[in-house]
Amino acid sequence: MYPDDLKYTSEHEWLREPGQSEGSVRVGITEYAQDALGDIVFVQLPEVGETVTAGAVVGELESTKSVSEVYAPLGGEVVARNEALDATPELVNTDPYGEGWLFEIRADDTGAADLMDAAAYQETLEG
């Protein structure tokens, strides 16, 4: 259920290295998070060129149930955002690890101590 090639945060986000842009990581939310949110109807993402701080709120996901904040898992510069989500935010629900990605960051710090592998992330959900 949780791909082994990704790293995970306690905020239910995933990171994939490398991203499409050189030196970047791609960020999205997990299957667990999208399921908990329900049908996503609007996505607010950081702008390309914006500098973000690890742990800071950088956007929102609005669903038919609630609004959930999106956090930057790493500090750095936003180098890409998934423009397709403006017209089709439901991609986050239907393909959270593929076409439903959120944004990419060129990290200035790794924050690796806060990242989990798939097994550790699964354990947090069960515990």
Residue 88 lies in a domain: yes
CA neighbours within 13 Å on the CB side: how many for 103? Answer: 30
Number of domains composing the chain: 1
- The answer to whether position 2 is within a domain reads no
Q: Do residues 29 and 13 make contact, with C-beta atoms less than 8 angstroms apart? A: yes
pLDDT tens digits, 35-77: 999 999 999 999 999 999 999 999 999 999 899 999 999 999 9
Which among 36, 16, 7, 4 has a CA at the least distance from the CA of 82? 16
Residue 65 CB coordination number (10 Å): 11
Residue 95 domain-assigned?
yes
CATH number of the domain at 115, please: 2.40.50.100
Q: What is the pTM of this model?
A: 0.93
**DSSP label of 47:** P
pLDDT of residue 120: 95
* Domain interval for residue 98: 7-126
Judged by average pLDDT, the poorest of 11-15, 17-21, 83-87, 90-94 is 17-21
Whether the link from the prior residue into 96 is cis, omega within 30° of 0, is no
* Location of structure tokens 């890409």: 80
